[in-house]
Structures are given as C-alpha cells and as structure tokens.
Amino acid sequence: MSETDEVIDRELTMSRAMVESIAHEMREDEEVFYMGEDVADYGGIFDSTQGLLDEFGRDRIMDVPISETAYLGAAVGAAQEGMRPIAELMFADFFGVAMDQIYNQLAKNTYMSGGNVNVPLVLTAAVGGTYNDAAQHSQTLYGTFAHIPGLKLVVPSTAYDAKGLMHNAIRDDDPVMYLFHKRLMGIGWMPAPSGPKTPVPETDYTIPFGSADIKREGADVTVVTLGLHVHRALAAAESLAAEGIDVEVVDLRTLVPLDTDTILESVRKTGRLVVVDEDYRSFGVTGEVIARVADRDLGALDAVERVAVPDVPIPYARPMENEVIPDADDIEARVRAVASE
C-alpha cells in the first residue's frame, strides 16, 4: 500500500533531493549544521548545499579552513556534545589528510566508550571519475571506507534514494559516511545520465540502511552494483534483453550494512553473479560480495565475474580512463560470459 494516494511526478536531480532533505532536517532540528570547504557562498562544489546559506546563514552553513583534520575532528567533538553536524569532504580522494579522525576517532569512539558516547555525524563526500580528473580526484574508494568498522556507508544512485537515505543518515545516532557520485548529481557543468533524476515525494521519508533495492528484475543473471554503475548496469540490461538475457540489477544503496540476503535471494534465482564496482578491483567491493555469497551458499553460484577498476590509479587521458572505468559494454561482456557458462 502506498503512503499517499497520488502518483508522485515531481522530478528532482540527485543534488536537489539531497539538499531538500538537509534543509528539512535543519528546519526541524537546530542542532543540525553543515560544514565544509566552499559550502557557503559557493553552495558546494558539487551543489551539495546549493541555496542553503540564504536560508540558514553562515552559522549553520559554515565555510571552514582547508584543514580537514581540524574541521572533521571538530565535527566529531560537536557531535559528541549532542549536535548533529554534517561535514563535507569535498572529494573522497582527500580522505588521506584526515583519515585518523575518520577511522580512529569518529568510527571507534562509540565502541571504545562501551556505548557511552555516540557520534551522530554525517560525513559527505563526492566520489567518482568519468570526467578526466585523474588519479587524485576520481576515485570512489568504497572498499577503503567499507572496511572500517563503526562507520555506516551510504551510496545513493537516484534522487529518490538520495533523499530518503539522507534523512535516515541525519537521524541516525551513529556516524554515517554518505558518498555521492559527481556524475549523478545533475550539476550544470557535468551532465548526468537520465536515470538519477527521479520523482521525489515532497514529504520527508527515510530509507532504511541495509536494504538493497532491486532496480530491475530479471531471471538469468544477477548484477550487484552501486552508485553510477547502477545506471550503467541498467543500460547493459536493456541491451542484453534484446539478446534474450534477462538481467536482475541489485542496487546495494548501503555498503555498511550490506544486504546479503537480497543478494543471495537473487543469486539463488539466477545462479549467475556479476559484481560491478567503480572502485579498485582487489580487496574491495567485488571480492566482498562474491565471498559473502560463496560463504553463505556456495552451491547457489554457477558462475561469477568481477567488473571493476583494474588496480591502477585512474589515468587522466580519455582513452585510458574509459578503459579502466567499467562501462555498459564491459558489463554486457561479463554478463554474456556468465550467461553462457
């Protein structure tokens, strides 16, 4: 049964959906504030705070020095006082200058305090390549962050999901890392594919973490993916449908917690698993998803393939970047391979 009677047809870009939920939470709760570089007047390099300065002022939409350790750590301190900061790391690629605050403090303080302290903080960051920004500005690093105990990890692929997951992230009393893919945001200077722009309810709603979403049902092959690659997998599925291969596309939506049940259910149906990831291949998402399935039900697996960045830094020039970041063709090829096994 639907929450409302009407069909929702108001479409938003993913960035507008994110901003809408942030604005809503800020109106509801004075303790929510946003800090980051260029989030005030600029509105976020990737439009993540577009328009918020006007409504909320500099105190709640705070520009900060280029001192990621200091300001992320300050967010941790404020969160431990009971505030609900949202702190933006402009590019996920910059995590290395502040990783200690991320993984040794914010992710561990709840555990180390035996649950006496909690850190209700949302850490947002832009991820992804496909626009030739080279090795230090194009990574997704999903595996790196998902490997850290104590941090929930959200990766939306559509405006609808982005809004519901952001509401949930802000209301969560645990630290949540929220990675938005630049290519999906609908930024003026970086055209998005059409998929991420979806109808979005005006009301607030929360999408629970650990609930993967089947973005396309199919009987033959399971493609498990996230972020930008949901849309590339859907495009591949359309082409493959013409060849008679019926692909199911599972959008993980959160990596921590990981919805193994939904993946497993799909694989039990199809027997064939292709995991598609924009992060580096080894020691990351593709390995984990395959191992979860193998560990839980090895017999369900008839064939398996990994599609990811082949353990090289992201190269700058177009032919090479295109080569290493999986596209719909790469997905199709691997799906065909498992389908014929």
Q: Which residues bind a copy of itself (CB under 8 A)?
A: 69, 93-104, 107-108, 111-112, 134-136, 143-144, 146-150, 255-256, 258, 279-280, 282-288, 290-292, 294-295, 298, 301-306, 311-313, 315
Catalytic residue among 24, 137, 167, 231: 137
Q: How far is the CB of 44 from a copy of itself (least distance, A)?
A: 22
Q: Which of ligand TPP, a copy of itself, another protein, none does residue 195 bind (CB under 5 to 8 Å by kind)?
A: another protein
Binding mask 92-111 for another protein (x = CB under 8 A): -xx-xx--xx--xx---xxx
Q: Does 249 bind ligand TPP (CB under 6 A)?
A: no
Which of another protein, ligand TPP, a copy of itself, none binds 131 (CB below 5-8 Å, type-dependent)?
Answer: another protein
Tell me how far CA of residue 91 lies from CA of 25, 123, 166, 169, 298, in angstroms.
23, 11, 18, 19, 37
Binding to another protein, residues 170-189 (CB under 8 A): 171-174, 188-189
Element (H, E) at 223: strand 221-225
Q: How far is the CB of 310 from another protein (least distance, A)?
A: 7
313 near another protein, judged by CB under 8 A: yes
Residue (of 203, 204, 202, 182) closest to 191 by Cα position: 182
Question: 3-state class of 29 per DSSP?
Answer: coil
Active-site residue flag, 137 = yes
Cβ contact 139:279 at 8 Å: yes
Total residues at the site for ligand TPP (CB under 6 A)?
A: 6
Tokens of 224: 């498990």
Report the C-alpha gap between 188 and 50 in whole angstroms.
12
The candidate with the shortest Cα–Cα distance to 324, out of 334, 315, 333, is: 315
Nearest to 11 by CA among 257, 249, 199: 199
265: three-class secondary structure by DSSP: helix
- Binder of another protein out of 17, 19, 37, 143 (CB under 8 A): 37
Catalytic residue numbers read 137
